[in-house]
Amino acid sequence: MRSGVKSIAFVISLRAPHLLKQTFGLTQTTVAIRNEFAERIQALVAKDATRKKHSASLRAAFAHLHSQICCRGNNSKNCCFFGPVAQLVRALPCHGRGHRFEPDLGRLRDSERNLFFSQYSKGNSIIERKGTAMSGKKNSSKTDLKKYTDFIVDKTVELLGIDSPTGYTQEAAEWVKQEFENLGFKAKMTNKGGVIIDLTGKDKKNGLLIEAHTDTLGGMVAAIKDNGRLQLTNLGGMNANNAETENVRVVTKADGIYEGTFQLNNASVHVNGDYNDTKRSWETCEVVLDEDVNSKKDIKKLGISVGDIVCFEPNVRVTKNGYIKSRFLDDKLSVGIILGFAKYISDNKITPKRALYVHITVFEEVGHGGCASVPEGCTEALSVDMGCVGEGLNCTEKQVSICAKDSGGPYSYPVVSGLVEAAKKSGADYEIDIYPHYGSDVEATLEAGSDLRHGLIGPGVYASHGYERSHRDGAENTLRLLIGYAL
């Protein structure tokens, strides 16, 4: 055995208490934990074993020691050894989700991973972290989905470029239909304006319906004001507070599209002394058209009238480190994910065990998108919609959220349990959450009288119904869960 191993164990047992306490401010209890593992390491050094086994055992012990000492608590600065200790111990990096950290076992070799579980995991809480399935064997079957995630992001950006507030969705729906047909699947428009896609499958009596929506929030002209400005009413949950100063497009019924900006009435700070105190609402804000108009008569000459659709600029941006920012990720990101799921089926020539159908709805934001068009033989429906991210919830933008309950009540317990099991088996990073103010297409499907089990998943999306943000990892984890659950 190399002399370096003995010297490491010696330093851990004699020098580390002082170094760790000085560097991290560790408590006596933590140092006691360190001492316990230092003893185990010294015992391994004393064993008559091969050099390879010693090395693997020591690295596994250090991984466990690292997780117990450095990654306890919320302070991410304690996430790895550094300074003098780092030169003596090759501590493995960790990953965490804010409140808890675990060793990154994927960085261990197979022999080291097996030793870790056989010798150090008994009686400890680190066998499995909620949200990440971990086992004694490397998940070599975890599929590389990068090209499908790239595809998802590209298609999401394309769809975000098509205005589709509730009631004005024909162009977006036709785009969706064409994209699924390009992948080789049959798609048809419903009378209501949605799209039904058949992803094939063997068991036609136990079909799964996957639902998402391409309609978004928006506005409608409610009144033409005497000063040539437009008063709006909201479509869906569009909120005047976060819509203020956004660029808009007014779509007339016959005479074209006009640009403008949604502003506070009397929006000049240097003029309006009540600017800060004015409550933003659809009555205190207006559309200022980028046209030479100053009266009702001027507006009517443009062909603008009450009932015209007003589309808000999405402002799409994909950052170099994978964040996706835009209005209306709810729910166009999910449509992109389902397209990626369909591409995965097509590329790999998969015939699903059960019949799979997709319904891309167009009235979800006003509550009745999924009320009809359930294909015959379906016994279950799964909404893919944005996962909530915010205070009091667990999910991040990089994860897939499994909803247990929302404003409409609990989702089918067997479905939720099955989704959790599929997430573990597929390696999808997930969280389970309860959404306090939320409704989904699949609940509309049940309210319309369909006899179905139901569930809800989606990529984590922050700042919902505002300028939303998600991440490509959240999209990929949602795709991974769909593959694990539906195929």
The residues that are catalytic are: 364
Is 207:378 a contact under the CB 8 Å cutoff? yes
Q: Give per-residue burial for 74-98: e unless 16+ CB within 10 Å, then b.
A: eeeebbbbeebbeebbebbebeebe
Ordered alpha helix ranges (H), 125-278: 146-160, 170-182, 240-243
Please report, for residues 198, 270, 350, 393, 462, the alpha-carbon distance to residue 397 in angstroms, rounded to integers and kept in the order given.
30, 39, 29, 12, 7
Q: Which two tokens stand for residue 149?
A: 């995630």
Pairing mode of beta strands 400-406, 430-434: parallel
For the record, the structure tokens of 395 come out as 């999910």
Tokens of 88: 């003596």
Which one, of 155, 158, 159, 113, lies nearest residue 136 by Cα?
113
Measured CA angle at 404 (ends 402, 408), to 5 deg: 120
For 390, phi and psi rounded to 5 degrees? Answer: 175, 180
Q: What is the CA radius of gyration of the chain?
A: 28
Give DSSP secondary structure letters for 384-430.
Answer: E-PEEESTT----TTSEEEEEEETTEEPPHHHHHHHHHHHHHHT--E
d(CA 283, CA 264): 9
CA-based nearest residue to 187, from 170, 203, 202, 200: 200
Tokens 């949605």 belong to 194
Give the closest residue to 219 by CA, choosing from 290, 294, 285, 298. Answer: 285
